[in-house]
Amino acid sequence: MIERLLVANRGEIARRVMRACRELGVGTVAVFSDADADAPHVREADVAGRLPGAAPAETYLSAERIIEAARAAGADAVHPGYGFLSENAEFARAVAAAGLTWVGPPPAAIAAMGSKIEAKKLMAAAGVPVLPELDPGRAADGDLPLLVKASAGGGGRGMRVVRDRAELDDAVAAARREAESAFGDPAVFCEPLLENARHIEVQILADAHGTVWALGERECSIQRRHQKIVEEAPSPAVGSELRDALCRAAVDAARAIGYAGAGTVEFMLAPDGRFYFLEVNTRLQVEHPVTECVHGVDLVRWQIGIAEGDRLPQAPPEPRGHAVEVRLYAEDPAADWRPASGVLHAFEVPGVDAEFAVPASYGLRLDAGVESGSAVGVHYDPMLAKLIAWGPTRDAAARRLAAGLRGARIHGLKTNRDLLVRILEERAFRAGDTDTGYLERVGLDVLAAPLAGEEAVRTSALAAALAGAAGERAAARVQGGLPSGWRNVRSQPQRRSFEGPSGTIDVDYFLSRDGLVCELCPGTSVVSAAPDEVVLERGGLRETFAVTAVRGGGGPGEVFVDSRLGPVAFRAVPRFADPGDRIAPGALLAPMPGTVVRVETAEGAQVAEGQVLVVLEAMKMEHRIAAPAAGTVAELGVAAGRQVEAGAVLAVIEGNHE
């Protein structure tokens, strides 16, 4: 029996595993890097071991340090979560060699699937349909389009689509760099790109006594940059006959490698109805909650039970209803979806029925690695949380999930929330038409449009101005009961300025005996105005705006307005600008903290608009920083290997004046 389990991971999956441990009466041990010292998973563990440093290679990817932490804490078992060392056979062997129980599949099964190249050969021999492998060095025009993939990869890392043979060498080189950074293995291969196919996977669960479950399929086709963002179970494209065939192939794959524990067999489903093996993820998947909801199982508890020698019943539970999951990422849609970092001032999701567990009945589940006040850094994956809705039908689940996302208060970081809501409400998604080309077909820009339109932004700005004035009145020591800016004789309007989604917005208004006068929002009246809530009326309809002001380093700071019209974030513009805040014309700034991977220019060089000058690595991804305009590199302030902060000047481009 396992008495104390160390979770060799971080964030929401660490919290998920520890929740299962608490229900089983198993003690928990967390590990944490210096960047995660204040993270929720650290506080929730019975004991936590520090992994000095912040970079993954010296913390969560250090098998030696993790095993040392397990010994020091008196742990007798290790659960790897997903990512990091979860599919590292050597780590699994080292855990066993240290006398600890490995809560995962046998190391031999992990090793067999650790190389996608070798895995495909093994599956072909077992009779599982596979796509042909292409050698990157021999690929010809007739092989296009193709997909470059990291042999040890996952999560979209080290993956590139190539449609032009001239782009192949660069794509292979970039995939190798990213694979080396993320997995420590630069090996890549190519395979045909199946256009308009669906990404279908089957959850498997196997004990050490020969019983293998196939817990139905999940649809994971909606992906951005090969990273899943929406998952559901069951797939709207899979009928009973195809489901039986997929499950049989998944069981054959599991038996071929002597699998035990939880895992996933992934397939591509072509438009003609044929399916092909992609890989076996020898770990728990990010999207496991949708299967848990539909089948009423706790996969993590079963992982622990199987590691203790428990037997599975001969047949899995029957499915019930439909579940949809979305992944909430910290990323900026307006800045080419670059990962965002900083303080998450507020993170609140209304109507959640369960956290890290299946709701007692149909409902909303939240698995989050963050909470209000969490700091999100640049060293790890930018996923903040998963929100899952389970309902009697697909439409019911999608509607509940969209409503939960719309009502969430997420302050301080840019996220993909608006994209997720629009997907869940979009016609083709509701019809189940969701292959891997969905975002491109419907239009990523259309789907990523802010939930708050121009009129909503203007009205929210007025609410922010009125709340700010109310806050100043409440804090006034003298005559605090007077209306803000009250005068016997009206001269100039009150003015508050904000930087909003589309630039600066000035709110000019009067509060007279006849009510509110504001050209920005004509016909609007004030029902009530408090520092944290403003109620406005227009056309006989009242709208409530929740307003949260967050002051920053002595300045006006940020203002977040949440309403039915959509969330809007503003930055208050000070009445008097600080001359020291000005940035030199032509300065190219770092969009986020990160490490400079390459510098592709030099001082004095002539550069074209859009030419890549610097490549940064942050949150396990490469980010190409390009020249905003043609000109000459007058200054170059970085070198490869250097760490930079957000806003650091990377280069200064002087424009050509010919």
What's the farthest any 2 CA atoms get from each other in the chain?
89
How far is the CA of 499 from the CAs of 75, 85, 560, in angstroms? 51, 43, 12
- The DSSP secondary-structure symbol of 470 reads H
Q: Which domains does the chain have, with CATH numbers?
A: 4-103 (3.40.50.20), 133-192 (3.30.1490.20), 322-427 (3.30.470.20), 454-572 (3.30.700), 583-655 (2.40.50.100)
- CB within 8 Å of 513: residues ≥ 6 apart: none
Does residue 194 surpass a pLDDT of 70?
yes
pLDDT digits (tens, 9 = 90+) for 417-457: 999 999 999 999 999 999 999 999 999 999 999 999 999 99
Does residue 658 surpass a pLDDT of 50?
no
- CB within 8 Å of 218: residues ≥ 6 apart: 200, 201, 202, 203, 231, 232, 233, 234, 235, 287, 290, 291
- Among 357, 354, 365, which Cα is nearest to 17's? 357
Residue with tokens 């039986």: 244
**pTM, whole model, 2 decimals?**
0.86
Does residue 376 surpass a pLDDT of 60?
yes
pLDDT digits (tens, 9 = 90+) for 519-573: 999 999 999 999 999 999 999 999 999 999 998 654 568 999 999 999 999 999 9
User: What is the chain's mean pLDDT, rounded?
Assistant: 91
Sign of CA dihedral 229, 235, 238, 244: positive
- The DSSP secondary-structure symbol of 574 reads P
Q: Is residue 574 reached through a cis peptide bond, with omega within 30 degrees of 0 on the bond before it?
A: no
- The DSSP secondary-structure symbol of 603 reads T
- Token pair belonging to 21: 């441990």
Contact 86, 283 (CB under 8 A): yes
pLDDT digits (tens, 9 = 90+) for 237-275: 999 999 999 999 999 999 999 999 999 999 999 999 999
Dihedral, CA of residue 590, residue 595, residue 597 and residue 602, to nearest 10: 50
Q: Distance of alpha carbon 434 from its chain centroid, rounded?
A: 20
Contact 43, 28 (CB under 8 A): no
Distance, CA of 347 to CA of 349 (rounded, Å): 7
Distance, CA of 643 to CA of 259 (rounded, Å): 42
- Token pair belonging to 544: 């409530």
The confidence score (pLDDT) of residue 489 equals 52
pLDDT digits (tens, 9 = 90+) for 573-593: 987 655 545 566 678 888 777
Distance, CA of 24 to CA of 18 (rounded, Å): 10
- Token pair belonging to 158: 């080290």
Residue with tokens 């290679």: 57
